[in-house]
Chain A
């Protein structure tokens, strides 16, 4: 394969653009960020994902220079940022609240940062027009922020933060107010911009689909700490904890006890039931508590017991969620545990094979599930 994979985090020679070194941030007694260490590389599209209040905005504000660290260091391009004020950083931020200047027109809002640089007038005008075109706001250039809609305001905020072509762009929930179609367009626009400009993006989002679509790596946060950093595919396929598995996408979690069995593990999950079999790289000792995490789309559903599957278990359909392209079956196992199984709806609805109350077999391979310690 000629194309090289973009993965500077695997390259020990690569120099990170951003380095968090044991960063702690406290507000009074409250610890918002706790001893966080993380590198982010040039040209990355780094997504921060996590529940509300876990410290995503605080992390961004420390990068932009609005908050000091309580402990630890933040380096950008190798330089300690401790005493560098926001206006001296080659970093721009798009605010969660947009923070458009209400007394200036859209045009002037976008030109604001360029004017501060003291660029010649015609260059500023050309750049602002380019940004207006990019965000499809040409028609609104002369309006004031209160004269446009929420989605348009969001695009102005984006255009304004892009105008100075910063080395590092921080986007705090940039696409929240856009409808789905425009959001997807803008996501591709962002990726396109990144491709063209080589800007490094750090993006906060609570939309995991968005994080999966745009980012080179995803960091899942909880209570001021990063729980896992990995590519979208790794995060989805190989979460390192129940928390991450549960946070990203839909997942079935089965609580059990592991017993080594050849190159796999037998996992006892309910009395009087055959144990499940799973292969994993993680080492478990005899009788250790573990959690089996299986994505619903990896669980097959059938009327008869499939012969060649490592795991099969019987249950009863309690509920069916029809989502158009896929259906999710909620199946109750013998011990009362609920499991979800997903199938693609390749047939028309009238010819669907299962219905409520049906007894069915759920099955998955020995590599479909991830075995987690916590």
Chain B
């Protein structure tokens, strides 16, 4: 048995407090009856009601969702292709440069990414709006997808692809019928990662958004500058709930399937 010392207990409490205290306060105040954010005046859900009537929030939320779905889908396709070439392509001209460059956006300050994209869009005369945000988000989330997918591909047994080729598949069929179904969990987590990155991006979106399209983080940020309202708390609480449910579902699913697989393998070993 591992002993649960006072040191462990303190670290755990401190860690969790740092992570979750701000969120808990936010959630509590979203149910505050008072308009003043810092004064508790009883339980109420009225701010959730007013939130639903606030057209500008709803518009921004809709734009955000559309951008997130579009950009994460494109980023997943491109990122997976990039990862595949990097891991499987063997040696080709400029491979090292390419693999370095695909990871550069991971460490690049967002301000610089945003600014350079802004300059590019102005340079080629592209009107800023939902389309430019999608492009920008694809650019920076694609490298996250490719990191996730390539770490899975590295451990992928190459002889599976060779077996597919051996049994008459073209290279594309081997990828479609064998590689992709097996690495699907990594591709899906890549997509989810890109989706959440796009959902809460403020910096890059504010560089590349135009007057015709505002995302939710931009909307919240500009609202907060005029003072924190309980509506914002309510909105944030909803976002926290969505993210939490997503994360929990994903982890339960993976845990369950790996447990089932383990059991099966043990059963198979017994009845050899």
Contact = CB atoms under 8 A, between A and B. Distances in A.
A149 B272 CA distance: 5
How many chain A residues sit at the interface, stated as a range, is 20 to 34
A143 to B, nearest CB: 8
Interface stretch (A11-19, A95-103, A227-235): A95-103
A326 interface: no
**Most-contacted residue by chain A among B166, B168, B170, B267 (CB, 10 A):** B166
Interface in A64-105: 64-66, 85-87, 91-93, 95, 97, 99-103
Contacts of B162: 64, 66, 86, 95, 99
B112 to A, nearest CB: 40
B269 interface: yes
Contact of B166 (A86, A101, A147): A86
A97 B159 contact: yes
Of B164, B170, B182, chain A has the most CB atoms within 10 Å of the CB of B164
B166 A87 contact: yes
Interface string A159-194: 011001000000000000000000000000000000
Given A97-B157, A101-B178, A64 B268 contact: no
Contact of A116 (B157, B169, B261, B267): B169
B167 A92 contact: yes
B41 to A, nearest CB: 56
Contact of B268 (A86, A95, A149, A164): A149
A86 B165 contact: yes
B237 to A, nearest CB: 39
Contacts of B181: 103
A25 to B, nearest CB: 16
B169 A150 contact: no
A21 interface: no
Interface string B162-195: 1111111110010001100110000000000000
B104 to A, nearest CB: 30
A152 interface: yes
B163 A101 contact: yes
A101 B160 contact: yes
Which secondary structure dominates where chain B touches chain A?
A: helix
Contacts of A116: 167-169, 173
Given A95-B163, A102-B182, A147 B267 contact: yes
A161 B164 CA distance: 11
A113 B272 contact: no
A146 interface: yes
Nearest to B182: A103
A85 B267 contact: no
A64 B162 CA distance: 9
A146 B264 CA distance: 7
Contact of B159 (A87, A92, A95): A95
A161 B166 CA distance: 9
Nearest to B178: A101
A34 to B, nearest CB: 23
A206 interface: no
A136 to B, nearest CB: 13
A164 B160 contact: no
B55 interface: no
A185 to B, nearest CB: 16
Interface in B140-171: 157, 159-160, 162-170
B38 interface: no
Contact of A87 (B157, B165, B272): B165
A147 B272 CA distance: 10
A146 B168 contact: no
Given A99-B159, A102-B182, A149 B167 contact: no
A87 B264 contact: no
Interface in A134-160: 144, 146-152, 160
A20 interface: no
A147 B157 CA distance: 18
A117 interface: yes
A112 interface: yes
B268 A93 contact: no
A147 B264 CA distance: 5
B267 A164 contact: no
B53 interface: no
- The 7 A-B pairs of least Cβ separation, nearest first, read A149-B272, A113-B167, A116-B168, A99-B163, A99-B159, A86-B165, A147-B264
Given A103-B182, A149-B269, A164-B167, 6 more contacts: A91-B166, A93-B163, A103-B181, A112-B164, A113-B167, A116-B168
Interface of A: 64-66, 85-87, 91-93, 95, 97, 99-103, 112-113, 116-117, 144, 146-152, 160-161, 164
26 contacts: A66-B162, A86-B162, A86-B166, A87-B167, A91-B166, A93-B166, A97-B157, A97-B159, A99-B157, A99-B163, A100-B163, A101-B163, A101-B164, A101-B182, A102-B182, A103-B181, A112-B177, A116-B167, A116-B169, A117-B168, A146-B268, A149-B268, A149-B269, A160-B163, A161-B166, A164-B167
